[in-house]
Amino acid sequence: MDQTIDLVRIIEDNEQIVLGKKVLFIPLNKGSNSEKLLIVMSAHNQGGKYMALRSFLESQICDLLFISDPKNSWYLDEDNGETFSRTINLFTEAYAPHATFLFGSSMSGYGAILHAFRLNANAIASNPQINLDITKDHAWPELKEHINEIGGHHTNLDEVAHSEWNDSAIYVIHGHDDMDIINVDLLSRSTPPNKKLIIQTLDIDLHILFFGKEVDYIYKIMDLLYKFRTDLDLKKILSNLISEDKTNKRHLRAERNNSKITDPFRTIDHSGKTVSWQNRYLHEQVGKQVFFSNIGFYFNHQLTGGICFFDGERWRLSSPIPSINDNLIAKNTAQTNGTITNPTNNQHINNFWWIRNESDSDIIIEGRHNYLEVHLTPNNTKNIYLSSSVSIDKKQHESMLGKYLTLSADVFTSEGDIHLTLGGVGASGYHHKNSSKNSPGSWKNISVTEQFLSINSDHKDSIFLRLNLAADGKAKTVQIKNLSLQVGYFPMGLA
Cis peptide before 343 (omega within 30 of 0): no
pLDDT of residue 1: 39
Is 326 inside any structural domain?
no
Instruction: Write down the pLDDT at residue 212.
Output: 66
Sheet holding 37-41, edge to edge: 15-18, 21-26, 63-67, 37-41, 100-105, 122-126, 169-174, 196-201
pLDDT band at 261 (very low <50, low <70, confident <90, very high): confident
In this prediction, residue 307 carries a pLDDT of: 97
Whether 213 and 349 share a structural domain: no
- The mean pLDDT of 396-414, rounded to a whole number, is 94
Question: Is the model more confident about 399 or about 369?
Answer: 399
Q: What is the pLDDT of residue 227?
A: 92
pLDDT at 452: 94
Residue 178 lies in a domain: yes
Supply the pLDDT for residue 239.
59
Cβ–Cβ under 8 Å, residues 11 and 74:
no
| Same domain flag for 399 and 290 | no
CA distances to 42, 67, 77, 317, 383 from 50, in Å: 6, 7, 18, 63, 64
pLDDT tens track for 416-441: 999 999 999 998 889 999 999 999 99
Starting at the earlier edge strand, list the strands of the sheet with 419-426. Answer: 354-356, 385-389, 463-468, 419-426, 429-434
Q: Quick check: 56 pLDDT over 70?
A: yes
User: Is 292 a residue whose pLDDT tops 90?
Assistant: yes
pLDDT at 236: 65
More confident residue, 269 or 384: 384
In-domain check, residue 175: yes
| Boundary-marking domain end, from 195, 217, 241 | 241
Q: What is the per-residue pLDDT for 235? A: 62
Identify the top-confidence range among 125-134, 143-152, 262-271. Answer: 125-134
Between 31 and 196, residue with greater pLDDT: 196
Range of the domain at 418: 340-489
Residue 63 and residue 18 share a domain: yes
pTM value surpassing 0.75: no
Average pLDDT, the chain: 90
Tell me which residue of 97, 94, 75, 95 sits closest to 85, measured CA to CA: 75
Instruction: Indicate if 233 and 382 belong to the same structural domain.
Output: no
Same domain, 170 and 233: yes
Percent of the chain with pLDDT over 90: 69
**Is the model's pLDDT at 462 over the cut of 80?**
yes
Domain match, 159 and 15 both = yes
User: Does 164 lie in the same domain as 87?
Assistant: yes
Cβ burial, residue 490 (10 Å; 0-12/13-18/19+): buried
Tell whether the model's pLDDT for residue 75 goes beyond 90: yes
Whether pLDDT at 164 is above 80 = yes
How many structural domains comprise the chain? 3
Closest CA to 426 of 452, 404, 407: 452
| pLDDT reading at 2 higher than 60 | no
